[in-house]
């Protein structure tokens, strides 16, 4: 669960105060005794919430994660690092903490196009450079719609993206819609889920008409298919999604094939897995290559080379042991 320091302090004070009052009313004068701690995530780090024992009963402060997040003052999201002229307002933040948790109030999103979504190029490494979004097929003049409710932060040309609209949403996530032919919104407009924001086109560096869709959080691109299921069901994969380094690294994926997606929803379990990764040993067989081994284990060649202290062009021998995490 995520709390800010102000809410955490208030929560502890209220818990102790309420339990003291109950003890006084019942005529029992037992002291409040510190029993244990509950581990929680606070401001991106691990902290511990005290658990008190009152009148021989263990008292655990109960916090509704959904309520805590949904009642968060979202006005700050639309003020901090807000610019209508800069594409990436977080460019000064060189390092992003990961893993991080994203919360969605909705269980579904709106398709960005009116017709069946056909992904023609995926998030990942493409022609020697990162492709930081997905390409969805459309014809010039087709409607382009926003995935979720939010506020238009940017609506102007941006380099190879051509005519681009960036929308920030209530959870801080930003969605990018590029290669448009026409804008139908302007900066600071409030838009509802499924609202038409522009027309598809070929502006910028586009090879044929298509929608280039990116999903970003604090300036870092996230694999869109990790968060959203681009099938006709248009489901958000979970209300709470933990985003790890793998899903913000294009090099970990290939634009020509769909990555194996296993959504993580518990940040404490994810942190434990990162701290204590599961190791497996792969025995090299005839015809194996580093690229093939990486594909089989849903990892990348650079990670295998780093772990095994071998080079990118190292010759593999049949029977050789390769460590995989």
Q: What CATH number labels 100-272? A: 2.70.70.10
Residue in 89, 199, 179, 107 with CA at minimum distance from that of residue 148 = 107
C-alpha to C-alpha distance for 243 and 286, rounded to whole angstroms: 36
The two three-digit tokens of residue 114, written as one number: 């009116």
Question: What is the average per-residue pLDDT within 31-57?
Answer: 54
Span 258-312, pLDDT tens digits: 998 999 999 888 888 777 777 788 999 999 999 888 877 778 888 889 889 899 8
Question: What is the average per-residue pLDDT within 106-133?
Answer: 95
How confident is the model at residue 70, as a pLDDT? 45
CATH architecture of 280-324: Roll (3.10)
Which residue ranges make up each domain of the chain?
A: 2-63, 100-272, 280-324
Q: Are strands 173-183 and 196-200 parallel, antiparallel or unpaired?
A: antiparallel
If you count them, how many residues does the chain have? 325
At residue 220 the predicted structure's pLDDT band, cuts being 50, 70 and 90, is very high
Residue in 169, 245, 175 with CA at minimum distance from that of residue 216 = 175
Lowest-confidence region among 161-170, 198-207, 211-220, 305-314: 305-314
How confident is the model at residue 162, as a pLDDT? 97
Cis peptide before 236 (omega within 30 of 0): no
């Amino acid at each position: 669960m995520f709390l800010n320091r102000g809410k955490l302090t208030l929560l502890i004070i209220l818990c102790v105060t309420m339990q003291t009052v109950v003890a006084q009313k019942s005529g029992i004068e037992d002291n409040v005794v510190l029993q244990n701690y509950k581990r929680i995530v606070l401001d991106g780090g691990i902290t511990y919430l005290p658990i008190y024992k009152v009148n021989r009963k263990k008292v655990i402060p109960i916090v509704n994660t959904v309520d805590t997040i949904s009642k968060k003052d979202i006005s700050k999201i639309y003020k901090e690092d807000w610019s209508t002229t800069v594409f990436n307002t977080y460019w000064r933040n060189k390092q992003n903490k990961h893993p991080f948790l994203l919360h969605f109030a909705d269980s579904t999103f709106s398709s960005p196009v009116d017709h069946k979504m056909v992904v023609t190029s995926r998030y990942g490494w493409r022609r020697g450079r990162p492709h930081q979004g997905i390409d969805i097929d459309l014809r010039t003049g087709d409607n382009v719609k926003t995935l979720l409710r939010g506020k238009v932060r940017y609506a102007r040309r941006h380099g190879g993206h051509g005519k681009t609209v960036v929308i920030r949403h209530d959870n801080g996530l930003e969605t990018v819609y590029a290669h448009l032919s026409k804008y139908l919104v302007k900066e600071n407009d409030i838009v509802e889920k499924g609202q038409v924001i522009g027309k598809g086109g070929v502006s910028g560096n586009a090879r044929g008409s298509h929608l280039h869709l990116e999903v970003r959080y604090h300036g870092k691109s996230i694999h869109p298919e990790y968060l959203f299921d681009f099938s006709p069901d248009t489901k958000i994969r979970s209300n709470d999604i933990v985003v790890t380094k793998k899903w913000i690294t294009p090099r970990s994926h290939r634009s020509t094939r769909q990555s194996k997606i296993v959504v993580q929803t518990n940040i404490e379990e994810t942190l434990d897995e990162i701290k204590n990764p599961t190791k497996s040993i792969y025995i090299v067989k005839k015809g194996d290559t580093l690229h093939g081994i990486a594909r089989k284990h849903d990892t990348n060649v650079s990670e295998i080379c780093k772990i095994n202290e071998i080079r990118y062009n190292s010759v593999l021998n049949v029977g050789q042991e390769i460590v995989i995490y």
